[in-house]
């Protein structure tokens, strides 16, 4: 997929929505595009994570504690917490169809934050918003 298309997808991903076009270009440049076949486990619950994924094409199933909790499609992201803390994955994500993914590693992401310190504040604000939305769903 062309870099311009990747940029358009990133601009719609909740984690990256507050970023400027220039910031998004840095993320695209630091990312790799990969294709995975249907049925492949992309991340497994409980394992340590070191990268975030943005779905460019295809769909994936999300399971937590053995229960299906979501379906992800183009424009969704997963694994973003690994960019921040490298902690264990909170769910298993399995490709339902062939997928094209944009992969951003923790080390590359940290280098971007070092280069553009203002991004950290944007990420914190974005994550805080997502936590508020999850709280409303859980306790609302």
19 pLDDT band, cuts 50/70/90, is: confident
> Do 83 and 15 meet the contact criterion of CB atoms below 8 Å apart?
no
Q: Model confidence over 69-99: pLDDT tens digits? A: 999 999 888 988 877 787 899 999 999 999 9
How would residue 128 be classed by pLDDT, with cut points 50, 70 and 90? confident
Contact 56, 104 (CB under 8 A): no
pLDDT, the chain, mean:
87
| C-alpha span between 73 and 70 (Å, rounded) | 10
Judge whether residue 140 has pLDDT over 70.
Answer: no
CB atoms within 10 A of CB 39: 10
Query: What backbone torsions phi and psi does residue 123 show, to the nearest 5 degrees?
Result: -65, -45
Higher pLDDT, residue 13 or 28: 28
Q: What is the 3-state secondary structure of 58-83? A: CCEEEEECCEEEEEECCCCEECHHHH
Confidence tier at 1 by pLDDT (50, 70, 90): low
Q: What mean pLDDT is predicted for residues 38-51? A: 95
What is the percent of the chain with per-residue pLDDT over 90, rounded to a whole number? 43
> Whole-model pTM?
0.84
The span from the CA of 17 to the CA of 38, in Å, is 28
List C-alpha distances in Å: 81 to 39, 58, 59, 85, 118: 23, 22, 20, 6, 19
For the CA atoms of 113, 116, 118, 124, what is the dihedral angle to 10 degrees?
-20
pLDDT of residue 4 exceeding 80: no
14: pLDDT strictly greater than 90: no
* pLDDT of 134 over the 80 cut: no
How far apart CA 74 and CA 54 sit, in angstroms, is: 8
């Amino acid at each position: 997929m062309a870099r311009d298309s990747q940029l358009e997808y990133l601009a719609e991903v909740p984690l990256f929505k507050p970023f400027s076009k220039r910031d998004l270009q840095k993320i695209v440049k630091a990312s790799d595009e990969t294709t995975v076949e249907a049925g492949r486990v992309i991340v497994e619950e409980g394992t340590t994570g070191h990268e975030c994924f943005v779905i460019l094409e295809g769909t994936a199933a999300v399971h937590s504690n053995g229960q299906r909790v979501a379906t992800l499609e183009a424009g969704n992201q997963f694994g973003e917490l690994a960019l921040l803390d490298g902690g264990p994955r909170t769910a298993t994500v399995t490709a339902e169809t062939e997928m094209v993914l944009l992969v951003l590693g923790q080390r590359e992401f940290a280098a971007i934050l070092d280069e553009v310190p203002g991004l950290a504040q944007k990420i914190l604000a974005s994550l805080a918003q997502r936590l508020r939305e999850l709280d409303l769903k859980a306790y609302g």
